[in-house]
Structure 1
Amino acid sequence: MKINANEIRVGMLLEYKDDLWQVLKTQHVKPGKGGAFAQVEMKSVNKNTKLNERFRSSETIEKASVEETSFNYLYDDENNYFFMDPKSFEQIEIKKDIIGEKGKLLTENLEVSVSFYNEKPISIDLPNQVNCKIESTDAALKGQTVSSSYKPAILDNGLSIQVPLFIEAGDEVVVDTRNLEYIKKI
């Protein structure tokens, strides 16, 4: 589907130069002299390279048609994560390098949205919030709130996040999956 350059938004998938690109940043610029343009920073989904491109407002870009389907997480091995379609019970596998760090937040039967491009899985979207348990954290020192109100903590899945001083090891917390930040204690 063709879209104008000024309709490009962060997170969109574009077909450009025989590759699939995810938009990381976009800025609409209208200089005093000359025509308006969109400055777009993109990352290749397949090659993991970045590209900064300038598109005139009158240009059209091909937006990738992506199909999203709900799947439940099953398990993982050394190279892949395995998911099951809850309707058809069909299983798929996705390479660990496609999912990246977010794979550590996967728990059994967690429902995720898998994006397919040309019937090939290219990314997953986790729910915005997941529950995690604090494995270990530093002890809060008295009077420390003057300098900072957060301390490092390691979750049971191995991820490290910043938590408020009152959080202790063994506490259950809610974590935002988009930016890996603490939300609240359960």
Structure 2
Amino acid sequence: MAKVIASQLRKGNVVEIDEKLYVILRAENFHPGKGTPVTQIDMRRISDGVKVSDRWKTTDSVERAHVEQSEFQFLYADGEGYHFMNPETYEQVAVAEDVVGDSKVWLQDGMLCHLAVHNEVAIALDLPQKVTVEIVETEPVVKGQTASSSYKPAMADNGVRVMVPPHIGVGTRVVVNTEDATYVERAKD
């Protein structure tokens, strides 16, 4: 365990408070004109998944838990959870559904992800920033509709709704940002 000051906490860090582990979901520092600067933290308790918000002075010290960050390859999902494999050691890890959370729609066979492991238990999953998906449903292209600012709704093969430019049709592979499901570009494959 290492002590750090609250202003150094970032998304994905794991801290220990009252002998319980929490993963940081959001950390924001506020510096008001008058008064003490504070750090607002949104975190999830790892043991039961409860979300908690807390506020500390930026100089308060917090116990940061030792967590191994390793790259794992997604294999498959079943009743036991989501299965990942370390590509170097071939060690497999089953990750609970509450750890994967909303990220499950982006998981693809063979995808490389970063897993945070504490005491041989996966506690946090970090996806690649961008993934490639195929458009399976969208409105047809309207002739003359070339304004670059106009977007149309489309459904990706993983079930996520994405706003795409008018020239994107069914069967087109596109790159999407996993954090907010926004269109990035047409896939180059």
TM-score above 0.5, yes or no = yes
Q: Secondary structure at 1:113's aligned position in 2?
A: strand
Structure 1 residues 27 and 36 mapped into 2: Cα distance closer, same or farther (>3 Å)? closer
Partner of 1:139: 140
Partner of 2:27: 25
In 2, distance between residues paired with 1:143 and 1:16? 59
Q: Please, which runs of 5 or more residues in structure 2 have no aligned partner?
A: none
Report the Cα offset of residue 66 of structure 1. Answer: 1.4
CA root-mean-square deviation: 2.4
Structure 1 residues 18 and 140 mapped into 2: Cα distance closer, same or farther (>3 Å)? farther
In 2, distance between residues paired with 1:143 and 1:44? 52
Structure 1 residues 50 and 68 mapped into 2: Cα distance closer, same or farther (>3 Å)? same
Q: Secondary structure at 1:103's aligned position in 2?
A: helix
User: Is the contact between residue 105 and residue 130 of structure 1 (CA under 8 Å) also seen in structure 2?
Assistant: yes
Report the Cα offset of residue 23 of structure 1. Answer: 3.9
Q: One-letter code of the match for 2:164?
A: V
How do residues 15-54 of structure 1 correspond to structure 2 at under 5 angstroms? 15-21=16-22, 22-30=24-32, 32-33=34-35, 35-54=36-55
In the alignment, structure 1 residue 66 sits paired with structure 2 residue 67 = yes
Q: One-letter code of the match for 2:26?
A: L
User: Is the contact between residue 24 and residue 43 of structure 1 (CA under 8 Å) also seen in structure 2?
Assistant: no
Q: Normalising by structure 1, report the TM-score.
A: 0.84
Q: Normalising by structure 2, report the TM-score.
A: 0.83
Q: One-letter code of the match for 1:100?
A: G
Q: Secondary structure at 2:100's aligned position in 1?
A: helix
Structure 1 residues 29 and 45 mapped into 2: Cα distance closer, same or farther (>3 Å)? farther
Task: Work out the percentage of aligned pairs sharing the same amino acid.
Answer: 32
Cα deviation code 1:101-147 (max 9, x no counterpart): 3222222222221110222101222222221111111235567778x
In 2, distance between residues paired with 1:165 and 1:127? 26
Q: Please, which runs of 5 or more residues in structure 1 have no aligned partner?
A: none
Report the Cα offset of residue 8 of structure 1. Answer: 2.5
Cα deviation code 1:2-48 (max 9, x no counterpart): 01123233443222233222141322234525x43323333333333
